[in-house]
Amino acid sequence: MRIVVFISGRGSNLRALLEHQENYTICHVISNRHQAAGLSIAQEYRVPTTVISWHDGAKAEAQALTLLNDIKPDLIVLAGFMRVLSADFVTKFSHKIINIHPSLLPLYPGLNTHQRALNDQQIKHGATVHFVDQNLDQGHRISQCHIRIGPEDTAETLAARLLSKEHKLLTTTVDKIATGQIYWQDKHLYYNNQVITQPLVWPEI
Ligand code: GAR
CA of 101 to the centre of ligand 1 (A): 7
pLDDT at residue number 15: 98
pTM above 0.75, yes or no: yes
9 lines ligand 1 (CB under 6 A): yes
* Per-residue pLDDT tens over the stretch 64-102: 999 999 999 999 999 999 999 999 999 999 999 999 999
Contact 169, 182 (CB under 8 A): no
For the segment 145-153, the average pLDDT, to the nearest whole number, is 98
Ligand 1 atom nearest to CA at 11: 16
Beta strands 124-131 and 97-101 are antiparallel
CA of 102 to the centre of ligand 1 (A): 7
pLDDT at residue number 147: 98
- What number of CA atoms fall less than 13 Å from residue 27's CA on the CB side? 15
For the chain, where are the E strands, in sequence order?
2-7, 25-31, 49-51, 75-78, 97-101, 124-131, 141-148, 182-185, 188-191, 194-196
pLDDT at residue number 2: 98
166 lines ligand 1 (CB under 6 A): yes
pLDDT at residue number 176: 98
141 lines ligand 1 (CB under 6 A): no
Q: Which CATH class is domain 2-196?
A: alpha beta
For the segment 110-120, the average pLDDT, to the nearest whole number, is 98
Contact 144, 201 (CB under 8 A): yes
For the annotated catalytic residues, the residue numbers are 101
pLDDT at residue number 43: 98
pLDDT at residue number 18: 98
For the segment 166-185, the average pLDDT, to the nearest whole number, is 98
pLDDT at residue number 196: 96
Choosing from 7, 10, 33, 165 the residue with most ligand 1 atoms within 8 A of its CB, the one to mutate for a pocket test is 10
Q: Please give the backbone phi and psi of residue 81, each rounded to the nearest 5 degrees, phi first.
A: -90, 115
* Per-residue pLDDT tens over the stretch 12-50: 999 999 999 999 999 999 999 999 999 999 999 999 999
| pLDDT-above-90 percentage for the chain | 100
Q: Please give the backbone phi and psi of residue 79, each rounded to the nearest 5 degrees, phi first.
A: -120, 85
CA of 108 to the centre of ligand 1 (A): 14
101 lines ligand 1 (CB under 6 A): yes
- What number of CA atoms fall less than 13 Å from residue 162's CA on the CB side? 27
